[in-house]
Each structure stands twice: as C-alpha cells, then as structure tokens.
Amino acid sequence: MQNFTYYTPTEIIFGRGAEKEAGRLAAKWNAKKVLIVYGGGSAVRSGLLAVIEAELDAEGIAWETLSGVQPNPRLALAREGVKKAVAFGADLILTVGGGSVIDTAKAVAIGAANPDTDLWDFWTGKVKKPEQVLPVGVVLTIAAAGSETSDSAVLTNEETGTKKGYGGDFVRPKFAMMNPELAVTLSRYQVACGVVDILMHTLERYFTPVEGNHLTDEIAEGLMRTIICEGKKVYDNPADYDAMSEVMWCGSLSHNGLTGLGRGKDFSCHKLGHEIGGMFDEPHGATLSAVWGSWARYVYRQDIARFARYGRKVWGIASDAAGDEEVALAAIRRTEEFFRSLDMPVCLGELGMGVQPEGVLQKMADSATNGGTVKLGSFCPMDAADMVAIYQCANHV
C-alpha cells in the first residue's frame, strides 16, 4: 500500500429536504454576501432556486446570482463570475446544480480571492496554487461528477477548445446538500451520463499498477456493483428515490479519493474524454463510455489477472472453466453491454461528433500530452501514439 493522505472536509447533509439547510450552513460559515451560481434554468423551473434564496433571506444573508453555466463549463463565464463576486464582495459561493456549475463556482472562488491573477494561469500550471480561496457550498441536483466532494474543477477554454482539470484540497466544498428528490427532473440521458461517470471514477482508480490494497479493492468493487445495479434501476425509473439515493451517494464516494486510497489513480480515459469534450462539446459521461472499451482492450494485457478479478468480483463471471484472459475479455464486454443498456455510446461514431479523420485524432492526442511531452495514466502509461491508437479503435459506428 502506498502512503496516502485522506482529507474529505465536506460536511454532507443527505436526504429529503436537505436544501432547506442552505441558510443555516451559509451562516455557519459566517457568510454575509453569497454569490449563487446555477446553470441553464432547471433550478429555476423546479422552484429550487427560489427555495435557496428564501433560506438565505431568512438568515439575513445578502445574495446575487450568476446564471447560465453550460455543460463543459466555459472559462469566459467563470471570469465573468469572478468580476461579479469581487464587485459584490461575496464571501461564499453557493452552487445549485451539477459538476459544471460546481466547477464554475470553484473557479470563481479561486479567482475572486486572487483577482490579480488570470484564472486560466492556474489551469495551465503557470501559477501553482492560489494564496487563498473563498468557501464553496453545494446544493447538488445531479448524481454524476462527484465535484461536491472532489478536489478538482474542470473548465473548458472555449477559445482554444481545451478542457482541463485543476485543483487540490483547497477547492473541496465546505458543505454539500444532497437531496435525491432534486434529481427527479433529470432527463434519462443525463441520468445515464452520470451513472457512467460514477462507475468510471472508480474504474480509473481500480486499474493502477499498485497491488495489495485489499480494503480499498473491496470498497471499490462494492461501489461498482452498487452503481451498476442501482444505476440501471434509476435509468429505468428516475423517480425511484431509494435507487437515486444509492447512486447519489456512490457519486460522492467514487470521486472523493476513497476508492483509490493506497494506490493512486490512472485517469487516462478521462484525458481521452476531455479532449472530445473540449473539441466537440460532448457530454462528459458519454465521452467516457465511448472510449473505455477501446482503452481496456488496448491495455488489458498489462495485467490480465487484474481485469479477471474485475470480471469475477464486479460482474460475477463464473471462473471455473474460464481462464483469466477469457474472463478479462468477458468483463470488458459486460461493461460495454452495461453502457449500451443505458443507451450510452461505446464508440466515437455513436457520439454527436461522429467518425473523425486521422488528423483530428492526432490533434486530440497531441493536446492531451502537451505536444507529446508527457505520458498519461499509471496502469499503462500512454504517449500520443498510444492515444491515437485507442482513438482509432473507437473510431467507428
């Protein structure tokens, strides 16, 4: 087991009516002026935004809003948010939404506390760490990205078509209200994207070269069995409160670090997916299901026994007659079948972007590897040529 630090400071209020704690929690953090960040309107239509505003009013806390966050959240809106937060004198950023909204709020929290530094300089690594960060609170409306407890924020620079993650423990939200009922208005497509993302956050930590983490393995396998079973239930019926509760809780635990303790993470599929999201504005979960099978077939020989364990422990593939390689390949097939059962794409041709010319695949690989200067992932470190090869495997209808 590798050394690790486990730091999950987010106070979680889970269950029906959780959003009604917004005022109390903001007051607990001594907030006097809150910038509420939300997306394209689902929180307005459901009446949730009005509830949050009323809760802040009841505590005598002033608020303003930043609206219009889009999926694959844009740098320009985050910059606008920084200006708004500074002008208002915000001392807490409260998000009402999912990963895109939370990540924009995290960016605003960094930018508003460091207004002399251009926001993107943090994301490119030009500036390593912010001096300070405003506190962020969350009202979660979709089980997916896990940003409500995670240490990262993913932004898209729309001028360059580059999508990048950045972070550290300093961006972990201070509190998160998680009411599974709020997710009932999600489209089935968004539910499916979320389920894929949650499974992927654990898979990206399950396949690493570090062995001998029995407890972490068991936690990860239990989480994956749960998201596969409950994720399908909630896709079939988004109003299934109990199933949505399981899925929402899986979402947080899948990406707060727990499922990778003692062995780090890989995250090369996320890199492959972020290039697609940045260039073609495809939904995050769909970019992951579209490339995972191609990644897995490209790398499984690196550790066939690990893939076989995944097949046996997560998919319950009977092992008596089958050898490890057979089980490993069956596990990859079963994962893709699961994605298909959620009507998620398993190749580039099933995404809106469609099949792409070779030059585009190369461009995405170059961008992800900083012009071929870095390798991605830890399970089977990949250079730009490996990435192109994986994109090629996925580049069909």
Sheet bearing 62-66, strands edge to edge: 11-14, 175-178, 136-140, 92-97, 33-38, 62-66
Among 183, 198, 279, 376, binds ligand NZQ (CB under 6 A): 183
Distance CA 15, CA 249 (A): 10
Q: How many residues lie near Zn ion (CB under 5 A)?
A: 1
Among 178, 182, 203, 258, binds ligand NZQ (CB under 6 A): 182
Structure tokens at 353: 């972007």
DSSP 317: -
Interacting positions 96-155 with ligand NZQ (CB under 6 A):
97-101, 103, 141-142, 144-147, 150, 152-154
Binding of Zn ion at residue 336 (CB under 5 A)? no
Residue 89: partners with Cβ closer than 8 Å, 6 or more residues away: 33
Binding of ligand NZQ at residue 164 (CB under 6 A)? no
Q: How near is the Cβ of 186 to ligand NZQ at its closest, in Å?
A: 4
Residue 85: partners with Cβ closer than 8 Å, 6 or more residues away: 35, 66, 93, 108, 111, 112, 134
Distance CA 310, CA 219 (A): 13
| Per-residue binder mask for ligand NZQ (CB under 6 A), 75-104, x = binder | ----------------------xxxxx-x-
Residue number, 23 or 97, with CB nearest to ligand NZQ: 97
Among 194, 260, 345, 377, binds ligand NZQ (CB under 6 A): 194
CB-based contact 195:342 (threshold 8 Å): yes
CB-based contact 284:72 (threshold 8 Å): yes
Structure tokens at 387: 């990435």
Q: How many residues lie near ligand NZQ (CB under 6 A)?
A: 36
141 binds, among ligand NZQ, Zn ion, none (CB under 5 to 8 A by kind): ligand NZQ
Among 148, 197, 221, 275, binds Zn ion (CB under 5 A): 197
Among 12, 13, 34, 43, binds ligand NZQ (CB under 6 A): 43
Binding of ligand NZQ at residue 40 (CB under 6 A)? yes
How many CA atoms within 13 Å lie on the side-chain side of 169? 7
Binding of ligand NZQ at residue 208 (CB under 6 A)? no
Beta bridge partners of 13: 177
Binding of Zn ion at residue 204 (CB under 5 A)? no
Residue 228: partners with Cβ closer than 8 Å, 6 or more residues away: 199, 314, 338
Q: How near is the Cβ of 99 to ligand NZQ at its closest, in Å?
A: 2
CB-based contact 71:284 (threshold 8 Å): yes
Q: How near is the Cβ of 217 to ligand NZQ at its closest, in Å?
A: 21
**Measuring CA to CA, which residue among 53, 51, 113, 57 is closest to residue 82?**
113
146 binds, among Zn ion, ligand NZQ, none (CB under 5 to 8 A by kind): ligand NZQ
| Per-residue binder mask for ligand NZQ (CB under 6 A), 263-302, x = binder | -------x------x------x------------------
CB-based contact 98:154 (threshold 8 Å): no
Q: Strand, coil or helix: what is 271?
A: helix
Interacting positions 102-131 with Zn ion (CB under 5 A):
none
Interacting residue ranges for Zn ion, rule: CB under 5 A: 197
Interacting residue ranges for ligand NZQ, rule: CB under 6 A: 39-43, 71-73, 97-101, 103, 141-142, 144-147, 150, 152-154, 182-183, 185-186, 190, 193-194, 197, 255, 270, 277, 284
